[in-house]
Amino acid sequence: MSLMTTSMLSVMLAGLLSSIAFRKVKRLQWVVLFAAAVFFSYVAVSLYGKWGLTDSLNLGLFTASFTNSYIGWLFFAFSSGVSLIISIFSLSFNDKKHITGVAPLWTVLLAANAGIFFAADWIAFLVAWELMGWTSFFIISHGKEKSFQAGIYYFALSLIGTAALLAAIFTIQGATGTFAIAASVKALLALWSTKPGLLYFIAILLTVTFFAKSAAGPFYMWPAKAHAEAPDDFSSFLSGIMIKYGVYGLILAVIPMFAEPGTAAAAGTAGYLGAAVHGTPLYLYILGWVAAFTAVWATILAIRENDMKRLMAYSTVSNIGFIILALSVNTAFGIAAAIFHTFNHMIFKGGIFLSLASVKFRTGEREMHKLGGMAYRMPIAFFAFLLGIIAAAGIPPMNGFASKWMVFQALFSHKLLFLMIPAFFASTASFMYLYRGLHSIYLGQLSPRFAKIKPAPPLQSIAMILLMVAMYVLGGWPGFVLQPVNSAIANAGFGSIQVSLGSIVGTTTSIHLTVVSFVFLFSVVGVFVLYILGKRRSHVEAMDTYTAGETPEDWGVTPEQYHYAYRFYEPWEKMTDPLVDTVSFERWFENIRHNFARMSRSIARWTAMKRPATMLAASAVVLILILGVLL
Amino acid sequence: MNQAILLLLFPAAAALITPAGSALSERFGRGLALLSYIAGIVYGVVLYPQIAASPASVIVGNWKPPYGINLFVSPLSLGLVLLIYCVAIVILVSDFASNRKRRAQFYLLYSLLTMASVGLVLTADLFNMFVFLEIAGISTFALVAVGREGSGPAGSLRYLVLAQLTTLLMLAGIGLVYSATGVLNIASLSRFAALNPAVAFLAGLLILLPFFLEMKQFPFNGWIGGAYRGASPAIGATMSGLVTVSVAMVLARLLLTMMNTGSAFGDATTKIRTVVLVLGAATVLIGETAAFREKEIKRVLGYSSAGQMGMIAIGIAIASQSAVRGILFLLVSHTIAKVLLFLVAGTSARLSGSDRWDEMRGIARRFPLLGMLFAVGAMTLMGIPLFSGFWGKLDLIRAAIASGGLAVVGVVAVLIATVVEGVYFMKIAHAFFEAPAAAKSAPPESTKQHYGVAFLAPALVLAAATVILGVLPGLIDPWLSSATAELLHPASGYAAHIVTGGLQ
């Protein structure tokens, strides 16, 4: 038993035990979570370089196998690192006033997280997937009615995904004869000439599973509900890490199914032989359009939001759309771009959500128009949010720029210009909601209610600072991530790209990100120097400039009411109302649920009524007798 | 080996002696019943190693089969008998925790029901099966009627009417078979020359009818609502946990061992199995759908049982190695989980004063263990890993997809049902854990209530069992293998031991 299995089992056990042993002293449960995150980070470090290490767990009825694949390790390492930073935050966040009892479940979830990335056969993957599903449901709904509505929505979609996964796994096993993931995908590749219909069926099932988990396509609505209601520190984990499981699944099983003939991934088999659009397989091209729709739609919905967590949840969905769009191009560059953006998103979205959690921790408010001026009281949270949105918008020197640049380069490489239009729209329109968050919460008038709040506690600040540093470093020196990613995708047979520590060679041009990063840094430093050297300044109250010298208190308007933040984008809301009303998958799902409930009520009532029940049984018997006599 | 009949005699003796002894002491009935089941378990455990080495056929009354009745004691039947006894003990112990005063007749009927269930599992003769089925039906009817004023008798009456209808038809089917073949022994029938296919189809279906009813299959499950509303939680647990073990096993025995292509039923077998598959798929969908909006918790569990039994029927109809392993595992895990859920439901109903789960909100805040036990039972039924239901469902779905054809309909039904039952079980689990709104706080008198060890001990044992089986499914692997082989290959196992003699 190697470190992979021992770590997973021990962490799971620790989580289960801490729920019983520390139920009176809940803070210790959070210490256990922190210890588990540290342990997993250590495991990640020690497993580096040991590619192809396998391990198995004999459970009597079957043997679960695990492997340290390069791509799996990358996801595991990043998720462990970000989990560690979040757990540091949580240690401070869960004080007497804010503590929730979700730490043991979260610990077990960390173990499931490892299981998903290390699984080498479908059954182990399924077990880890299901474990992740129910623990996250209980965490999201954590005992509150409103949270439960969000949680059960998420859980129902998750169950649909699991049902599709079950069907897919056994169809794959029936077609290829094996449960091993890598071997079965290879075997499927050989079937393109004989059974393309079956392969499309499997691809659709797997797509449903992974899209449901990653909130792409018609499943875009669950993060907004779930993120808003989940415990604040968990929202960071949900948005940063959990939503990426679908992306990992796509890279693991769906993308390799479409390997082009001649590439390393298709070695030994004929490879994908079907239709292609500009070199992209047709199925993946359609997925790309779905992903582009997701990105655009989520952006439109994000701009309409007033609740900061819901807004950021839609932003996550939009970024997932980007990631899947990059994946769908099906080249080494696209896959590298997708993985890089995944990790970048983990970092900057994690930072954004932690910053929001800090603000909520100090103020108790979540709606943006009730906040304002937080930059004056909570500078570190402000900086974390600022750098986070710069990264999210894809502006240098933060890490978001490099990965978004790569996504667009990937689209260029296959001349997918029509797909670029929604992608550009989503990317630039994101400025609207990202800046809104910054303005409404951190800039503007500080409400007198919050004039005396303290800044973020030290541990929370440390967590945010770590993420900020990561954002900057990865922005200027992307090679830290991209070089391992490059080796990983080459290892998996997807091909490779040209990267060095500070530069990337794209498909139309190359870019030297360190230079870009230093240019921005020196510009900022230069402006700051000018500011210091400049003429004397006098401090003016924000309200004085804002009101052009008038005194609004004369006519009963307080500074608070002057903070223009409520329904910031009302014109946009009015503009998109008809669109949102017509295209509503949410209403479609709600209709399904409603009709199902009606059907359930009538069946229950009908089978409970005396006469129909007996009549039905009697008529069934008569039918059988007739059948028996006739046949 | 004639002593193996003691397995039947222990509960029968308990049933017969109870009325007399109760004249002396009020507690006599419960003590004797428990004692007899414990004796049964001890005897069974002592007997098991011998049976695992070579199954035995017990000939009753010195008439050799196929003319006489015999019992077949094999790892499968002995294992299930032990399960039945354990469940009976668990349910009776938990019943002590309820506030009902049980009279002697209750324990008499209960022991009769247990004896009948054990008999159904052990017997190898069709008519003997019919007799035990009637005993089980009448005892169930009486036990359900012991429930609340009005709804108890009403629900049980509907059950009785439907049950009698179907058993009457079973008798007709048995008559048909007897007149056509002259034998009633299951092993003989499994190797008899083929009947006229029309007769075989008709007789086969007729014989299976009461088992469709007991397993809550679709056109025959109109009795679930009334019976589960009226029955006390212990009886609900018995119907869902104890009787289902025997009835599912009999269905498997009849459909797999007695009716196969080399048997008297010949080619009608595939037709009958198709009917069972279709009915099973319909039951799964209808059962889970009916449970979705149901607010009375015992009825939810009853409809959920219907769904699970539908899955077992689908697995039996597919009749492949994986399928049969899957349904045996499902049967064991369902029994454990359902009994646990009924225990929790009964205690929650008592503590909150209502039968509806939406009026039990927040009960797990006061009694966290209740909520966790419910979650454990629910997740077992949903087939979530770390709990035992997962492995059974996995095998079943795998077998269904592998066998293709109509079985795919079954798979779709099972997958839809998984989503639906996931949603409603989690709704209930969440209602238990919900933090009560500040306005409505718990009624003060209920803070004095608590559950005793009579509930806690059996519940913890069951929860531990399902977790252990979920994490280490290999523990019952040898049993599963021998049971599957016995069901699917009658010629080498079952029939060989009975028809060629066996022990005196």
Q: Give B197-234 as a DSSP string.
A: HHHHHHHHHHHHHHHHHHTT-GGG-TTHHHHHHHS-HH
| Closest Cβ opposite residue A59 in set B303, B422, B472 | B472
Testing the interface with A: which of B401, B411, B416, B476 to mutate, by most A Cβ within 10 A? B401
Q: What is the pLDDT of residues A277-295, one digit of tens each?
A: 777 888 899 999 999 999 9
How confident is residue B360, by pLDDT bands cut at 50, 70 and 90?
confident
- The Cα of B15 is separated from the nearest Cα of chain A by a number of Å equal to 32
- Per-residue pLDDT at B309: 95
Mean per-residue pLDDT, B168-187:
89
How confident is residue B99, by pLDDT bands cut at 50, 70 and 90?
low
Phi and psi dihedrals of A280, rounded to 5?
-100, 130
Is B24 contained in some domain?
yes
Instruction: Judge whether A16 is closer than 8 Å to chain B, CB to CB.
Output: no
- Per-residue pLDDT at B440: 47
How confident is residue B445, by pLDDT bands cut at 50, 70 and 90?
very low
Q: What is the pLDDT of residues B330-348, one digit of tens each?
A: 999 999 999 999 999 988 8
- Per-residue pLDDT at A610: 65
Strands A510-512 and A280-281, bridge-based pairing: unpaired
Q: In angstroms, rounded to a whole number, what is the distance separating the alpha carbons of residues A8 and A80? A: 12
Q: Which residues of A touch B379 (CB under 8 A)?
A: 134
Q: Does the pLDDT of residue A627 top 90, yes or no?
A: no
Query: Would residue A616 be called left, alpha or beta, if left means φ above 0 and alpha means ψ between -120 and 50 degrees?
Result: alpha
Task: Name the strand (E) or helix (H) holding B195.
Answer: none
Q: Does the pLDDT of residue A404 top 80, yes or no?
A: yes
Judged by CB atoms closer than 8 Å, whether chains meet at B398 and A618 is answered as no
Cα torsion angle, A168, A172, A178, A180, sign: negative
Strands A510-512 and B56-59, bridge-based pairing: unpaired
Integer angstrom CA distances of residue A220 from A149, A317, A439: 16, 7, 26
More confidently predicted of A36 and B60? A36
Instruction: Judge whether A20 is closer than 8 Å to chain B, CB to CB.
Output: no
Mean per-residue pLDDT, A588-600:
84
Q: Does the pLDDT of residue A375 top 90, yes or no?
A: no
- Per-residue pLDDT at B471: 85
Give Rg (Cα) of chain B.
22
Integer angstrom CA distances of residue A453 from A361, A378, B477: 10, 8, 62
Q: Does the pLDDT of residue B504 top 60, yes or no?
A: no
3-state DSSP assignment of residue A119: strand
The answer to whether B276 and B206 are in contact (CB under 8 A) is: no
- Which range (A120-124, A525-529, B13-17, B188-192) has the least confidence? B188-192
Is B402 contained in some domain?
yes
- Per-residue pLDDT at A351: 92
The answer to whether A311 and A369 are in contact (CB under 8 A) is: no
- Per-residue pLDDT at B441: 47
Judged by CB atoms closer than 8 Å, whether chains meet at B379 and A134 is answered as yes
> The pTM is what?
0.89
Q: Does the pLDDT of residue B438 top 50, yes or no?
A: no
Q: In angstroms, rounded to a whole number, what is the distance separating the alpha carbons of residues B146 and B137? A: 14
Rounded to 5°, angle at Cα A338 from A333 and A339: 100
Task: Name the strand (E) or helix (H) holding A51.
Answer: none
Judged by CB atoms closer than 8 Å, whether chains meet at A163 and B427 is answered as no
Rounded to 5°, angle at Cα A147 from A143 and A149: 110
More confidently predicted of A315 and B103? A315
Percent of chain B at pLDDT > 70 equals 94
Name the average pLDDT for chain B: 86
- Per-residue pLDDT at A505: 85
Instruction: Judge whether B398 is closer than 8 Å to chain A, CB to CB.
Output: yes
Mean per-residue pLDDT, A269-274:
75
Q: In angstroms, rounded to a whole number, what is the distance separating the alpha carbons of residues B440 and B449? A: 18
Q: Which residues of A touch B471 (CB under 8 A)?
A: 59
> Where do we find the tokens 């009853």?
B302
Q: What is the tally of structural domains in chain B?
A: 1
Q: In angstroms, rounded to a whole number, what is the distance separating the alpha carbons of residues A370 and A385? A: 17
Q: Give A499-526 as a DSSP string.
A: E-SSEEE-SS-EEEHHHHHHHHHHHHHH
Closest B-chain CA to A607: B222
A contact residues 35-64, partner B, Cβ 8 Å cutoff? 58-61
Q: In angstroms, rounded to a whole number, what is the distance separating the alpha carbons of residues A447 and A606? A: 59
> Where do we find the tokens 């035992």?
B388
Look at residues A432, A277, A352 and name the one whose alpha carbon lies nearest to residue A86.
A352
Instruction: Judge whether A17 is closer than 8 Å to chain B, CB to CB.
Output: no
Is B283 contained in some domain?
yes
- The Cα of B76 is separated from the nearest Cα of chain A by a number of Å equal to 18
Expressed as residue numbers, the domain containing B319 is: 2-439+446-490
Q: In angstroms, rounded to a whole number, what is the distance separating the alpha carbons of residues B389 and B387? A: 6
Judged by CB atoms closer than 8 Å, whether chains meet at B206 and A624 is answered as yes
- The Cα of A280 is separated from the nearest Cα of chain B by a number of Å equal to 31
Cα torsion angle, A333, A336, A339, A342, sign: negative
Task: Name the strand (E) or helix (H) holding B332.
Answer: helix B321-352
Domain parsing of chain A, residue ranges: 588-630
* DSSP 8-state symbol, A67: E
Mean per-residue pLDDT, B176-197:
84
B contact residues 313-372, partner A, Cβ 8 Å cutoff? 365, 368
How confident is residue A628, by pLDDT bands cut at 50, 70 and 90?
low
How confident is residue B386, by pLDDT bands cut at 50, 70 and 90?
confident
Q: Does the pLDDT of residue B139 top 90, yes or no?
A: yes
- Per-residue pLDDT at A560: 65
Q: Does the pLDDT of residue B249 top 90, yes or no?
A: yes
Is B502 contained in some domain?
no
Phi and psi dihedrals of B73, rounded to 5?
-105, 110
Neighbours of B262 (CB within 10 A): 15
- Per-residue pLDDT at A491: 85
Judged by CB atoms closer than 8 Å, whether chains meet at B423 and A159 is answered as yes
Is B340 contained in some domain?
yes
Judged by CB atoms closer than 8 Å, whether chains meet at A608 and B222 is answered as yes
- The Cα of A527 is separated from the nearest Cα of chain B by a number of Å equal to 53
Testing the interface with B: which of A142, A603, A622 to mutate, by most B Cβ within 10 A? A603
First to last CA, chain A: 60
First to last CA, chain B: 7
Q: Indicate the residue type of B363.
A: I
Mean per-residue pLDDT, A35-49:
91
- Per-residue pLDDT at A1: 65
A contact residues 561-620, partner B, Cβ 8 Å cutoff? 596-597, 599-601, 603-604, 607-610, 612-614, 616-620
Task: Name the strand (E) or helix (H) holding A281.
Answer: strand A280-281
Look at residues B310, B305, B293 and name the one whose alpha carbon lies nearest to residue B218.
B310
Closest B-chain CA to A128: B385
Testing the interface with B: which of A122, A135, A610 to mutate, by most B Cβ within 10 A? A610
Q: What is the pLDDT of residues A596-607, one digit of tens each?
A: 888 888 877 776
Mean per-residue pLDDT, A206-212:
94
Q: Does the pLDDT of residue A332 top 70, yes or no?
A: yes
Look at residues B456, B461, B464, B469 and name the one whose alpha carbon lies nearest to residue B369.
B456
3-state DSSP assignment of residue B305: helix
Burial of A239 (0-12, 13-18, 19+ CB in 10 A): buried
- Per-residue pLDDT at B80: 94
- A72-99: b (≥16 Cβ within 10 Å) or e: bbbbbbbbbbbbbbbbbbbbbbbeeebb
Could you report the predicted ipTM of this complex, rounded to two decimals?
Answer: 0.87
A contact residues 61-80, partner B, Cβ 8 Å cutoff? 61
Mind spelling out the 3-state secondary structure of A393-420?
Answer: HCCCCCHHHHHHHHHHHHHHHCCCHHHH
